[in-house]
A and B are shown apart, each in its own frame.
Chain A
Amino acid sequence: MTADATAIPRKDALVGYALVALAILWIFAGNGFSSTSFNVFTGVMISAGIYAIAALGLNVHFGFTGLLNFGHVAFMAVGAYTAVLLVPHGVGRLGVVGGNWPLIPAALVGMALAALLGLLLGIPTLRLRGDYLAIVTIAVGEILRLVARAAEGLTGGVFGVINFSNSLQNLRPGFVTTIARELRVPPAQFFLLISIWILVVLVWLGLRLLLRSPWGRVLKSIREDEEAARALGKNVVAYKRQSLMIGGAIGGLAGVMLAMSFGTVRPDTFLPLITFFVWAILLIGGAGSFAGPIAGSVIFWAILSQTDSLANTLFSSSAGGSAVAAFRFVLAGALIMAIMIFRPQGLFGKKEELLLEIK
């Protein structure tokens, strides 16, 4: 396989990049280029960055290995809870103080435990047909949330974990604060935006190296033809297991940054619906492509950031917060269906690399 094999048709790529540029413009223009434009932009791009990291992880599972993971939120929850419980924090109704780790090692442990979850999920499922993995992951995604709610002594139950955001903001260099003041953006938000997008680039570069290595080529060969890979003496189950763990660790990292952007972590932060947002993003961008998850996330969040006004127009009288939220999910579901029906390769994917049958 030459380097060109992962390149995509030039025209499609241009359309993709143009759409991303349009999406960013839309986020600004939706607020009429007012003084709040950059604030809104910061907020939307924070979400887009976090979900881009999550989608990069899911891309390892589904895009490159063909694993049907419908419980990505579980990896995010494990990463987030681990990290915020290790750094200084308050927990539960009384805000009991604990933790003394710096953020970076705490986040690494969070990613390691998310990888461990991947290892465990693989044990009962990887030898079976792909739909069993789908069923077990969707169940684990929901049940971890219930367990987090019940384990009040550790996780603070519904009251959650709070007061951990300083572990990130303590790392903020002085010049970031200065620039943020110039742009009239809250410095904490601005630093969050920068750190998330640095991570997006790091993960993207790391995956590019990893997936273009011999290891990555075996992974793709498993997606293309599992029997052929097996015939060549590759241990298919071991490769799938490693894929689950690596993608899971990246999902865990996304969870840590989601926690940092929310400022609190509660069980209901990690609803199964987050998984489906990540799926919509991956499918828009194109599963199995490198730029896809990032581009998909920017476009998806540009659309979502404008749905509030759209929902208000559609349901003029009754549009409370729940109607707007419901409308977002209808939109995400319809997008998932429409892409799978009309353009299953998304913006940046390649049609001939599409995975068709469940294995």
Chain B
Amino acid sequence: MFLDQLANGIVLGTIIAISAVGLSLIFGVTGLVNFAHGDLLTLGAVFALVFTVPGDVDPGGIGLPFWLAVVLAVVLGGVVGGLLERGLFRPLRDREVGGIALLVITIGLALVVRHVILLWIGGDGYGYGLGLQRRESFLGIDLTPRDVMIVLVSLAVMAGLGLFLLHSRTGKAMRALADNPDLAEASGIDVNRVILVTWIIGGSVGALGGIFLGMTEQVRYNMGFNLLLLIFAAVILGGIGTAFGAMIGGLIIGIVTQVSTLLPVIETNTDLKLAVALGIMIIVLLIRPQGILGKRERVS
């Protein structure tokens, strides 16, 4: 039982981690907590769904091979991220709309996106039609081959992103902006371009996270919003604004909440694992509000 939930926790944790990276990057670079991030995950999962489902199966798609559908959905997720920046957030920054207004706008955006999806595919849950798989033993832990693939691809994407942040010019510019926006701009960094790249990365990596979530559960209009609480717990635990913190925080939150479903009360009400995540979040805020990897000055 414990090992089963540990395995589920590792899968959930990598999904939270890869979903949290985008949120954390966007916060780090622009200072914006994007409450619509969860619904962007859902959007990615739905894109993949309508690309891969045949036309005669609900909700009606175009029947592409799954891998192609995933690639297209990830690209489209990046396009959505870029469009949000160019069409909404950059004009708002140019008009010098304040941080509070921006935060409330992301809440409105989340409502719109979530319920447009509800109008689009309805309230039912859908599968990608990938078929059931038997669990096999990997390094002593029982997982389906699909779960293993999700974990490995997520880890690879996050490693790639880490290398990009550490060594590429744009990645360094992103970290510089997160550290000190004024200094970064003064030293000749094209702020608008860096923010655009951040949104595109956040959108496409988020779409991938949404698709993985849809592969382990079902694609439903509110799946991303439900995951958002776990994502918040992850970024607060890891340190908000740090991509590496989001990765570590995601893994820990995924494993702890999933293993907590073995506890007496939570066993029969598995939704309460969200309460466990909230508990962790509150404890972190009380004793180390900057999170594991965060820096003190972000806090107050």
Measured CB to CB, the residues of A under 8 A from B are 66, 68, 70, 123-125, 127-132, 134-136, 138-140, 142-143, 146-147, 149-150, 273, 276, 279, 283, 315, 322-323, 326-327, 329-330, 332-337, 340-341, 344, 354-358
Contacts and interface: CB of A to CB of B under 8 A. Distances in A.
B108 interface: yes
A336 B271 contact: no
B196 interface: no
A149 B275 CA distance: 12
Contacts of A337: 105, 108-109, 112
A329 B33 contact: no
6 contacts: A131-B33, A132-B236, A135-B281, A143-B274, A283-B104, A357-B100
B100 A327 contact: no
A330 B285 contact: no
B101 A326 contact: no
B206 to A, nearest CB: 18
Contacts, number: 138
A355 B97 CA distance: 10
Contacts of B285: 124-125, 128, 132, 136
B51 interface: no
A51 B108 CA distance: 18
B220 interface: no
B299 interface: yes
Interface residues of B, number: 45
B286 A123 contact: yes
Given A128-B299, A136-B285, A355-B100, A146 B111 contact: no
A150 B109 CA distance: 31
A340 B269 contact: no
Contacts of A142: 229, 274
A275 to B, nearest CB: 9
At the interface, is chain A mostly helix, strand, loop or mixed?
Answer: helix
Contacts of B212: none
B101 A330 contact: no
B180 interface: no
Interface of B: 33, 35, 92, 97-101, 103-105, 107-112, 114-116, 118-119, 122-123, 229, 232-233, 236, 265, 268-269, 271-272, 274-275, 277-278, 281-282, 285-286, 289, 298-300
A334 B100 contact: no
Contacts of A341: 92, 97, 101, 105
A355 B274 contact: no
Contacts of A149: 269, 271
Given A336-B105, A344-B97, 5 more contacts: A322-B122, A334-B112, A337-B112, A341-B105, A354-B98
A333 B278 contact: no
Nearest to A124: B285
A356 B99 contact: yes
Contacts of B116: 330
Contacts of A336: 104-105, 107-108, 111
A326 B100 CA distance: 26
B286 to A, nearest CB: 5
A336 to B, nearest CB: 3
B35 A138 contact: yes
Nearest to B277: A139
Contact of B105 (A130, A140, A326, A340): A340
A355 B98 contact: yes
A318 to B, nearest CB: 9
